[in-house]
Chain A
Amino acid sequence: MNVFVQTLGFGVVSASIIAVGAMGFTIQFGLTNVLNLSFGGVMTVSAFVAYLTEQSGINIWLCLVLGGVAGAVLTIFLGRTVFKVYARRGTRLFEMVMVTLALGLVIEYAVDAVSRDQIYSLSFPEGASYHIGAATLTESQLIIVGIGIAVFVGLERLLHMTRLGKALRAMAVDPGLARSCGIPTNRIVNATWLISGFLCGVAGVIYVLNALSVSYTTGVIFLPSIIAAAILGGVGSPRGAVLAALMLGLVTQLVAAAGFSAYSSIAAFGVLVVVLLSRPSGVLSAAARKVELTL
């Protein structure tokens, strides 16, 4: 029983990490329809920024902010330059996915070249251990869960209680109509890049905070869970992304605790397949026929 509760605790921690990334991924994907596989590369860059700031002795919170800002700056730069160029040329959905993947590869291997193909370990203090029921979590793990909750609450409030959020949701439903209602769509897209980039950066930082090592593959390893959570939760829905992340995190840890650690990540895959087969609305192309890139 204790093992079970402990596993649930670890599941919530990994769910928090996935959720932060998936929330960033899903609002950007929902608004622009770019399935952005360069997200992993940006996450790696932020993780390295966190590593460098940690090396220079800056505290963990500033580390988080700097990592997030790095993600936001890089993402809006890519969005305004690279993605916009292809969108203007009428690049179709799949080719755009490949552009983002190519970009992800370029970033990944640029980081590889700069980091001299090495794995770097971080020495964040894990802090004291806390007992919550039968589960024992370290301070940094609790911080990660706290960040996950804070991001979720903040994003929900932003989407449902501010003008920006209203405009964002309107654009996600119908960009053309939103524009004719006087919503400055260009600025909203920019805001989306910034928010999703920031969350992407924060996700990268808390991922290394938990894993305590960083290499050029960090983001790429982490990306599939994020995409799975975003698709599973319904594109453009932070609530769905959080629920899906919780499910993925718990399932992954439970399967690992049951002694099938090799198969822990296949759970994510299995769940995604089940969803594709059973809940096709929004996923089937007939329902999403008019989908175009919005940049």
Chain B
Amino acid sequence: MGHFSFYLSTLVVYFGIDLLSAWSLNLQYGYAGVINFAFIVFQAAGAYVAGAVVLGPDTGPNSYEHYILGARLPFPLPLLAGALAGAVLSAVIGLFAVRRIRRDYQAAVMLIVSLILLQVVGNDVHIFNGQNGITGIPRPLQTALGLSLPDYQWVYALWVLAICVVLYVVVERLSRSSWGRSLRAIRDQEDAAAALGLNGTLLRLEVFIVGGAIAGLSGALLVEFIGAWSPGAWGYAETFVIFTALLVGGVGNNRGMLLGTLIVPIIVLEAPSFLPTIGYPGLIDAIEWMIVGLAWMGFLLVRPRGLLPERRFRAPRPAAGVGARHGLAGWVARTFTLGRPELAPVAPVAPAIGVVAPGRASNGEATAPVSPAVPPAGARSGTVGSEEQ
């Protein structure tokens, strides 16, 4: 029983962390169409940084591991450091990678970025201790809580799940905000969206950074749980796993990620590692990876929209005359869309020529007169393209 409880709590932690990864990638690929084939790199960045800022300063040449950014930060700060690392690395890579290039090129470029960074970190022992990686990262608050290991595992699992709940609300709200609608607009019809004043490259860069931050956070949570991180943990194939989870769950559906994550990384890849081995060591791994590859090919053929397809989203009706974005979604949307002309909701009554779109138009943006030919019902929804109709 004790073993089983341990096993189960470990799986719950992995599930939560993979779920965060899937939501992050879904935001980037599902909503914005950004093919982040270097996803695992951002998770790794978060993990390395979160690990290094707990381990304490590198003690110099005689130390048994070498790393940069050594510090001793108290409990919640390493998570933030990990998220920040993911965001910063995303910003750097995103500057050239999210430009409007052919989708297959983007995938190839990201893949190469992922492989090269893996080689550099693996070969240069001065960054994060080369192939051996950083080890001995203490679990947060383990001594302070004074729990036995099985109990601590469950506490950690609950902590991860709590973060998942918060992140679900954030991601779901983000994807419903006007920012999220803009993302889908540039994903589906970039030319049309550009004609309406959306800057596709900037939007992709933003979603890339937001996703990178979530990826970094997931890496930080993971490294605090397993206590070590090395190049073996972030091969390019790990990114493929998350993409497969997306496809299985349903690209563009945050709830579908629950199913996809449960099936692909947990049931196929993690659960069997607790089973008795068959054949020679490594055979089960090989079979698991073949199943993941076949899962992508099979789902694309049989059910390309996934188990839970993307829902047709209906924009909320704005309150009379005002850009109706309340609460967190409004705050986040306003924060992320600073200074961009957007699809501001139009007053519901079709007026004469020359009416100015309300909302964001007041803070110095060019104010476009709204043609009376635009049907008010369509214009009011504040979204573009086929999604609404």
Contacts and interface: CB of A to CB of B under 8 A. Distances in A.
B102 to A, nearest CB: 5
B102 A288 contact: yes
Contact of A262 (B103, B106, B123, B240): B123
B161 interface: no
Given A85-B301, A94-B35, A95-B300, A105 B292 contact: yes
B280 A117 contact: yes
A89 B303 CA distance: 12
B146 interface: no
B103 A94 contact: yes
Interface string A81-94: 01001100101111
A262 B289 contact: no
A263 interface: yes
B163 interface: no
A97 B103 CA distance: 9
A54 interface: no
Given A35-B107, A98-B296, A227-B112, A112 B123 contact: no
B130 to A, nearest CB: 8
A38 B108 CA distance: 13
A283 B103 CA distance: 10
Interface stretch (A43-51, A148-156, A272-280): A272-280
Interface size class of A (residues with CB under 8 A): 35 or more
B281 interface: yes
A224 B111 contact: yes
A228 B111 CA distance: 11
Contacts of A262: 119-120, 123-124
Nearest to B124: A262
A265 B122 CA distance: 12
Interface string B38-50: 0000000000000
Contact of B283 (A93, A105, A117, A227): A117
B243 interface: yes
Contact of B102 (A103, A277, A291): A291
A110 interface: yes
A117 B286 CA distance: 9
B373 interface: no
A96 B101 CA distance: 16
Interface in B90-119: 96, 99-109, 111-113, 115-116, 119
Given A113-B283, A117-B286, A224 B115 contact: yes
B301 A89 contact: yes
A91 B300 contact: yes
B293 A109 contact: yes
A227 B107 contact: no
A286 B200 CA distance: 13
Contacts of A109: 285-287, 289-290, 293
Contact of A102 (B104, B105, B109, B297): B297
A284 interface: yes
A92 B106 CA distance: 14
Contact of A276 (B109, B123, B287): B109
A65 to B, nearest CB: 29
A101 B100 contact: no
Given A117-B283, A268-B116, A284 B300 contact: no
A285 interface: yes
A72 interface: no
B237 interface: yes
A265 B101 contact: no
Interface in B197-216: none
A106 B290 contact: yes
A99 interface: yes
Interface in A12-67: 33, 35, 37
Nearest to B126: A262
B294 interface: yes
- Of A91, A277, A283, the most chain B CB neighbours within 10 A belong to A283
Interface in A226-250: 227-228, 231
Given A98-B296, A261-B123, A262-B123, A276 B103 contact: no
B282 interface: yes
B272 to A, nearest CB: 14
Contacts of A273: 96
A97 B104 contact: yes
Interface in B264-299: 280-283, 285-287, 289-290, 292-294, 296-297
A88 B104 CA distance: 18
A162 B293 CA distance: 39
Nearest to A261: B123
Contacts of B240: 98, 101-102, 105
Given A102-B240, A109-B289, A110-B290, A224 B116 contact: yes
B290 A105 contact: yes
Contacts of A163: none
Given A98-B300, A224-B116, A263 B124 contact: yes
A86 B301 contact: yes
Given A98-B243, A269-B116, A105 B107 contact: no
B100 A102 contact: no
Nearest to B127: A262
Contacts of A119: none
A285 B300 contact: no
B116 A265 contact: yes
B112 A224 contact: yes
A105 B124 contact: no
A116 interface: yes
Contact of A228 (B112, B120, B300): B112
Nearest to B284: A113
Interface in B235-283: 237, 240, 243-244, 280-283
B277 to A, nearest CB: 12
**6 cross-chain pairs, A with B, having the tightest CB-CB distances, nearest first:** A262-B123, A117-B282, A105-B293, A262-B124, A102-B293, A106-B293
7 contacts: A99-B296, A101-B293, A105-B289, A109-B289, A113-B286, A283-B102, A284-B99
Given A101-B296, A102-B292, 12 more contacts: A98-B300, A99-B297, A101-B240, A101-B293, A103-B293, A109-B286, A112-B282, A227-B112, A262-B123, A266-B119, A272-B112, A285-B100
